[in-house]
Structure 1
Amino acid sequence: VVRPVHAGIEVARSDGGNIAIAYTDSDQAATTASYDEQTNTVNIALGTDETSKGFVDIAQLVNDIPALSDGTELTATVIDSDGEETTGPSQRLNLTADDFNPNTTNFEPKLNGDLIFELKGSKGSETFQFSGGATALQIADAVNLVSDSIGVVASTENGLNFTSQDYGSGESVEIEVIGEGDGGAFESNLSETLALGSDVEATVNGVKAGGSGNKLAINTATLDLSITVEDGSSTNFSFSITGGGATFQLGPGATSTQQASLGIGSVSTGKLGGSAGRLYELGSGQSMSLTNDVHGAAKVIDEVMEKVSNMRGRLGSFKTTTLQSSLVSLSETKANLQEAMSSISDADFAQESANLTRAQVLVQSGTNVLSLANQNPRNVLSLLG
């Protein structure tokens, strides 16, 4: 028989830090509770004795855990289905770890005192002021309201994190605590106060590619390539380009120095997009339709527009700097060859005309000589007669 009374247990750190609860089933009779400072997790091993694993009993076990190495203490409370603290009967029979784990709660940290800090990004800076008790979510929301003007966004995943909006060596995040109330631990818990971005590095087919943020590009006689690495990626990967695209013959020789290749990705709705999603997902009934996720649809459209614009830019650049320049060069070469051929033809015609004139002169001279030779016999005969 299962007799539900309370919804679960909440555990909080006295310093307001993050904490999690993990339940496991144990072969031991008694239920035990311990704390792992490396993972900030309260580990509760549920024993076989049903009378020792009611909510109130487990909460008492957590409260009995000694103070942590830094003096932080843990406090456990029993909550009802509305998340409110409750007391009274707490026994639930036949409970297992699967019954408890869905109720696991991660508590967001709160400020122990007033806080003033300046946050600087690549686009500007902003000063923030919070009162004691403000949560990490409230701080993140305040930062994200002005993220476009400072170039920094905040998140509360695994604590409070500040990251730059964009990628690259030109990005940075700097935080300076101007003032903090007594007992405050915000500044002491900062992992660092200044972080600088970096550009992606890659070698493609043995040639070092130029990197800018999370984008890399390479342009050689045999390869014109640009790649955008997935946002947030920190894993090394390898690839090689073996073929593809269209090859244009730019000169008379069938060599790589007189050829250029260009390839473009697919522009189908299943391919256009990026890390936010694909264009086809904006269709009616899809996950990012205007009725399901307006913000997600806007991100997908932005990525599609950027991808298409980059593709058009590459095609326009290839046409202007490669094809048209080669066409102009070939046209000039053709005109020079035609002019040279015309000059050669003119010279040949003049030579042949001179040869003809010479031949005509020789024929006329020979005819005159023969005519004179024929007149001599007639003159002799006239003398004899």
Structure 2
Amino acid sequence: MPPGHLDAAGCNVPSDRVLDAVVGHLRREREVGGYGAVADLGTARSALAALVGAHARDVAFLESGTAAMAALLGGWRLAPGSRVGHTRAEYGSTLMLLRRLAAERGVRPVEVPVDGDSRVDLDALREVLAGGLDLLTVPHIASHRGVVQPAREIGRLCREAGVPLVLDVCQSLGHVDTGGIGAAAYVGTSRKWLAGPRGVGFLITPGLAGPDREPDRLGRVMDAAAPSLGGHFWVGGQPSPLTGAARYESAEASMAARSGLGVAVLEHRALGPAALHARLAELGVTARRLLDGAGGWRAGEPLGEPSAVVTLRPPPGADPVAAVEEAGARAAAASLLVGTVPVARAPLDLAAPVLRVSPAPGACEESLHALARILAGRPLSA
């Protein structure tokens, strides 16, 4: 881990083994041709699926989490008037997709109530579900706020109501426990907490009925979806979608990056997910307690929140755009890499940009102390 790297929520640092896997596959493509160098992704699919209690056949690889969400929602057969639930903490690109579906198909977005920390209000969700939803999408941890949503409770309420849940795990898979939720679909990415390469996203669809499953209500809804990225074969002169998650997978992509993600997931499993989750929660709490109040900056989530996504609001009276940009620049000058989150990342929930600090498990805590001194305007040697 490079010293001072505090931006795992933006783009984490792949290990040497992951890098070797990517380069090795590229070399193999040069030797035998791109289509001759077949990547064996079966083990990677199984390891990835196991993180959410699914099967290898439920995993489709795409180019990013955004591409995976677009493939899923864009291909879901939602009738005019269908009600799709979301929270104000929804990721900006997903909101744009929902608004496009509203404009083109007559889908009706429904905002689910949350509390002051943008955490889903479970009692209010129960009422919304009782009023009728056709689909609910929730980011397990948002890009702009390190609050961990009560995903197991949300999943249980959705199953009881017969409403498919799409869980965005871009900021949570590899970061917090994602087992036992029972979502119909999970959308994720390689480059964050799994520490894989850029350019790989994935879709896991345990709620999609396969040829050897009894198709329940969720399965029938998802099997009715029309694939948007080309998972077809031809039957009787007509295109027919592949079964399972394969219908969503893009065939022309960076197989080297997908191979690297496979190695990253296996490394994550070998290191012990529970231990990694505990370490990240510890780092997040440590970071908030060190940084909250430094130079007037305030944490954007409860200090004890068990996540390593730490957001900081600028001091009162400061121009928020200038303050965030300046803080990021001062950190960079001290060889500390942090993130900045613009309002467009969560337009319903962010009134101003925030500074984001997200240490990976191998981060040095001295980097957090150094950042606290920078935000407080103190010398780094203090």
- Indicate whether the TM-score tops 0.5: no
Higher helix share: 2
TM-score (norm 2): 0.19
Higher relative contact order, structure no. (Cα contacts within 8 Å, ≥ 6 residues apart) = 2
Pair member with larger Rg: 1
Higher strand share: 1
TM-score (norm 1): 0.19
